[in-house]
A and B are shown apart, each in its own frame.
Chain A
Amino acid sequence: MTIVSFDNVGLRYGMGAEILRDLSFTIAPHSFQFLTGPSGAGKTTLLRLILMSLRPTRGVIRLFGADVSRLSSDVVTSLRRRTGVVFQDFRLLDHLTAYENVSLPLRVKGVEETRYRSEVVELLRWVGLGERMHLMPPVLSGGEKQRCAIARALITRPELLLADEPTGNVDPSLARRLIRLFVELHRSGTAVVIATHDLTLMDQVEARRMVLGEGHLHVFD
């Protein structure tokens, strides 16, 4: 079973031209791929289609084998719980501490804090935020916010991780550390999709490349 499958998917806003055309690809379990293309090519839009926050205007999208056009909200929720996402703008909740932000996916699942506390602390230490876990996002640096957002996406050990420009706000050495983190996650069984236009980042890992350009997708295995 594939984790994500697109079949002739097209998307347009209103009556405008299609911004994504004839997208057909699959993402296999335990795979690692970069989604790349120039700015404005539609990388974030494609990620939003996978996240079910946008509906395609044509074609079929399957997530974990299920046709997303026919899902009840309960099923959508359960599929999202199997997916981790790192947003380009982090989307951390500013009134919660780093610890609380990272533990949020477990909290909304109704897990008791006593059960996840050590796990969250361990992950925060692993991403280098052990000493900063009680701070709120407004006082964290761009790189720290980035790592906090990544930790939040990883805490539930998702089967699929989508990361939108996850190294966009960090210096090259931290970017390398973060990419090693994604590779480690991939080795532990997660399918990883990293949207980036950073060529040096892609050169560090031998991986499948999905290139978006002018609305079309070209896959280089």
Chain B
Amino acid sequence: MSSTDGGTTRARAQADGGSLGGGAALVPARSIAGRALITVIAIMTFLAAIAAGAAQIVASASAQWTSSIAREATIQIKPRTGRDIDADVARATTIARAAPGVAEARAYTRQEAERLLEPWLGKGLDLGELPVPRLIVVKLNPDGRADLAVLGRELAAAAPGATLDDHRLWVSRLGTMANAVVIVAVALVLLVLVATALAVAFATRGAVSANRDIVEVLHFIGAEDSYISGEFGRHFLRLGLEGGAIGGLGAILCLWFAGLIAGRFQATPGGDQIEALFGGFSIGWGGLVIIIIVGLIVAGLTAYMSRQTVARHLAGLS
């Protein structure tokens, strides 16, 4: 449909049987502060999607930590006077390998153990005089058959300086932190959705009062309240979809860009820190789906709020 003569003549195909125009919007698009509302909805969707995407990244990273850390345990053997630490390490390794549910047990050599201290003590030091504890990394089968309590007791009996760290404390702390981040993010998403709903309600009220004459005429010619609110709702759904799509796309691009930047800093201490916290810093398919869902929720909420606002207004009129 095109407009000429300053929008006052509607040119159309007048072929026999062609539509003469029964589908034009009853609420004129220009009477609604559409562009401003689309911008608000886009910003709100962007914020909600970023929060939801971040929550998804943290949640999936937390799941990764939990599963990878829980599949590992460390045996630490402290040097004790009067004991041959190498023999203790060999014994402990044998016990660990024989334990049910253990896939692999690898003892760090003294050189490897000393290398672990390098970041703190620097290179070129002779650590031969220091009582450096020795580590055995135990990889557990994912079936969860390993009984770490029994293994711990057996180790303590065989090598008095041996302690078994199953990382549980670490896992639970990380899990708590990740859950807190997810809860905060979900609360942010909810707050943003509420703010969006209120913004839409205000915009709808503005649109209804700008179109009061149209609403009144529709009433007089026998339009049901639901028909009138549906006309507004349809219009606002389009605005919501547009704003939601812009905001959602912005959030996806932003997270993708952040992933790109994080990738650049890989293998630097800062980058490794970020990767340790957020995994690959990529939203993945799950994150994409969540962002699309957030966009759709915002659009649906926009349509629903506008319908409700108009319905309340009409109920007030009668």
Seen from chain A, the residues whose Cβ lies within 8 Å of a Cβ on chain B are: 51, 53, 73-74, 76-78, 80-81, 85, 91, 93, 95-97, 99-100, 103-105, 107-109, 113, 116-117, 120-121, 133-136, 138-139, 152, 156
Contacts and interface: CB of A to CB of B under 8 A. Distances in A.
A168 B233 CA distance: 37
A48 B248 CA distance: 49
Contacts of B318: 73, 76
B9 interface: yes
Contact of A80 (B7, B9, B221): B221
B8 A139 contact: yes
A97 B24 CA distance: 9
Given A76-B318, A134-B9, A139-B8, A113 B20 contact: yes
Contacts of A135: 8-9
Interface stretch (B39-47, B110-118, B120-128, B223-231): B223-231
Interface of B: 5, 7-12, 14, 19-26, 28, 213-214, 216-225, 227, 314-315, 318
A99 B220 contact: no
A134 B318 CA distance: 34
B90 to A, nearest CB: 87
Contacts of A107: 22
Contacts of B227: 108
A85 B220 contact: yes
Contacts of B19: 113, 117
B297 to A, nearest CB: 29
B2 to A, nearest CB: 12
Contacts of B224: 73-74, 77, 108
A103 B8 contact: no
B243 to A, nearest CB: 23
Closest 6 CB pairs of A and B: A113-B22, A81-B222, A108-B223, A95-B28, A105-B221, A80-B222
A134 B23 contact: no
Contact of A139 (B9, B20, B217, B314): B9
A130 to B, nearest CB: 12
Nearest to A106: B22
Given A136-B10, A139-B9, A80 B24 contact: no
10 contacts: A73-B314, A77-B225, A80-B220, A93-B26, A95-B28, A96-B21, A104-B221, A108-B221, A109-B222, A135-B8
Given A78-B222, A133-B20, A134-B9, 6 more contacts: A51-B220, A73-B314, A99-B21, A113-B20, A113-B22, A134-B11
Contacts of B218: 104, 108
B316 to A, nearest CB: 12
Contacts of A76: 318
Contacts of B23: 113
Nearest to A117: B20
Given A91-B217, A93-B217, A103 B22 contact: yes
Contacts of A116: 22
Contacts of A156: 222
Nearest to B223: A108
Nearest to B19: A113
Contacts of A138: 8
Contact of B24 (A95, A109, A117): A95
A119 to B, nearest CB: 12
A15 B218 CA distance: 31
A74 B14 CA distance: 37
A136 B222 contact: no
Nearest to B12: A134
